[in-house]
Amino acid sequence: MVRDYDGSEYQDAEPSTDFAAVPDAFQRLWTPYRLAYIKSNSDHEPTTNECPFCVAPTLSDERALIVARGTHAYVLLNLYPYNSGHLLVCPYRHVATYDEATVEEVAEIGSLTQTAMRVLTETAQCHGFNIGMNQGRIAGAGIAEHLHQHIVPRWALDSNFFPIVAGTKAVPRLLGEVREELANAWPTSH
């Protein structure tokens, strides 16, 4: 056991040299803290019959954390962000997968994604992005019933020891503050 700076005790980490492994070409991001999320959602049934991505556009932008609204899709902050400024682009229409989206929805999702990247680069000075969609619960979609694309801003030094050692993700800004900043910087016509 090792004593932390606050006096609490925790198990010291095992050195990786003690694990059986065959070297390969893959880089690995070890995120064991995500296992609790994966297990909790394996048989997850929504607590309500209402889809949060269908409900969000009916609320005020501030309450729903909506940054911008288009004709076929809208942009909102992720309620459980990987990084500050983590956005989602959702069609208004309730469709589960990308292949069910119309040509117009796909075009606007793409256009809103480009605008989001520009706005995040301007406001947050991020160095890159993770952009993607998890299609289906088995692929990791937290809300598999409604198509949504993730836009996660990344910075050179945005990874630290918190998630692995403390099971905590440091998000340095409040969602409301980030939403307001992004909404104010969003161009009137994207």
- Look up the pTM and report it: 0.70
- Evaluate whether residue 167 is within a structural domain: yes
Q: Please count the structural domains in the chain.
A: 1
Question: What is the four-CA torsion angle of 86, 89, 90, 91, rounded to 10 degrees?
Answer: 170
What confidence score (pLDDT) does residue 9 get? Answer: 55
- Evaluate whether residue 37 is within a structural domain: no
Q: Which of 94, 148, 150, 190 does the annotation list as catalytic? A: 148
Active-site residue flag, 190: no
What confidence score (pLDDT) does residue 12 get? Answer: 47
Domain interval for residue 128: 51-185
- Evaluate whether residue 21 is within a structural domain: no
Q: β-strand 128-132 against 2-3: which pairing, if any? A: unpaired
Contact 109, 73 (CB under 8 A): yes
Structure tokens at 11: 């198990």
Q: How many Cβ atoms sit within 10 Å of the Cβ of residue 179?
A: 21
- Evaluate whether residue 157 is within a structural domain: yes
Distance CA 141, CA 145 (A): 9
- Evaluate whether residue 19 is within a structural domain: no
Q: Which residues, 6 or more positions from 187, have their beta carbon under 8 angstroms from its beta carbon?
A: 115, 119
- Evaluate whether residue 190 is within a structural domain: no
What confidence score (pLDDT) does residue 48 get? Answer: 59
What confidence score (pLDDT) does residue 4 get? Answer: 45
- Evaluate whether residue 22 is within a structural domain: no
What confidence score (pLDDT) does residue 83 get? Answer: 86
- Evaluate whether residue 163 is within a structural domain: yes
Here the CATH number for the domain that contains residue 80 is: 3.30.428.10
What b/e readout covers 73-92, taking b as 16+ CB neighbours within 10 angstroms?
Answer: bbbbbbeebbbbbbbbbbbb
What confidence score (pLDDT) does residue 163 get? Answer: 52
Give me the residues of the chain with pLDDT under 70, please. Answer: 1-48, 159-172, 189-190
Q: Tell me the residue ranges of DSSP E strands in the chain.
A: 2-3, 9-10, 66-69, 73-77, 87-91, 128-132, 149-154
Q: What is the pLDDT of residues 131-153, one digit of tens each?
A: 999 999 999 888 999 999 999 99
